[in-house]
Structure 1
Amino acid sequence: MTNKMNVNFTEKAAEIPFSELELKKRPDGGFRKHPSDFFKRNSLVRVAHLTNQEVAARLGITSTHLSNFLNEKVSVDPFFAVRLSKATGIDMGTWLELQRQYDVYIYENMECDVQPLYPFSR
């Protein structure tokens, strides 16, 4: 078993310290899409013959919830992730990770009126 990770560096060598590696830019500028985009591309295309009401019924949610999800108005919480996982065969953790990545992308640069509790460096 190897101890290698799939990383996106211009140089990959164990002897180079992490701080000296040059990171490549993501072609999309780092943009993370809402999990509904993944759902549309990987699951809805397989059941295009079903109405949104039928898809919602199979997921055990209301058609309003499905519509809000598809329009990026609701997040994937653990309750919804279980349903998506059981309906699509895609691991629950994947759905939660997609949501986490999207949330981090959206909120990491959010302006907020907060004062540091103590000195720290970033």
Structure 2
Amino acid sequence: MNRKPTHPGKIINEDYLLPLAISITEMAAILGVSRKTVSKKTNERGVITPDMALRLSSALDTSPELWLNLQKSYDLWEAEHASNAWRIVKPLSPKLLHASG
């Protein structure tokens, strides 16, 4: 994956809050969380947890999977590009993979 995926918080901000003229404080009340929680996410510093995915899906008429998949894509890209340490891992040989059967 070459292009960095969009952080889900940016999508919340640009596709929902701004067009619908909903403030961070209002969104926090809608979601039943603190203003700080919503602010962190919309400023691309917080992560979308399963609980938050359920809250967002209820409020925005989407699926929780949408939010979790966006977060997963973002996290995987970050991990892949943060370090090359994982590249030293070599695949198990087919012989070892099938030895347990």
**Shorter-chain TM-score above 0.5:** yes
Higher relative contact order (CA 8 A, sep 6+): 2
Task: Return the offset for 1:37.
Answer: 1.3
1:1-122 equivalences under 5 Å are: 29-48=2-21, 50-111=22-83, 116=89, 119-120=90-91
- Going from structure 1 to structure 2, the CA distance change for 1:105 and 1:53 (only over 3 Å counts) comes to same
User: How many correspondences in the alignment?
Assistant: 91
Cα deviation, residue 111, structure 1? 2.1
Q: Which protein shows a greater Rg?
A: 1
State the identity %.
27
TM-score normalised per structure 2:
0.77
RMSD (CA atoms) = 2.2
Q: Whose helix proportion is higher, 1 or 2? A: 2
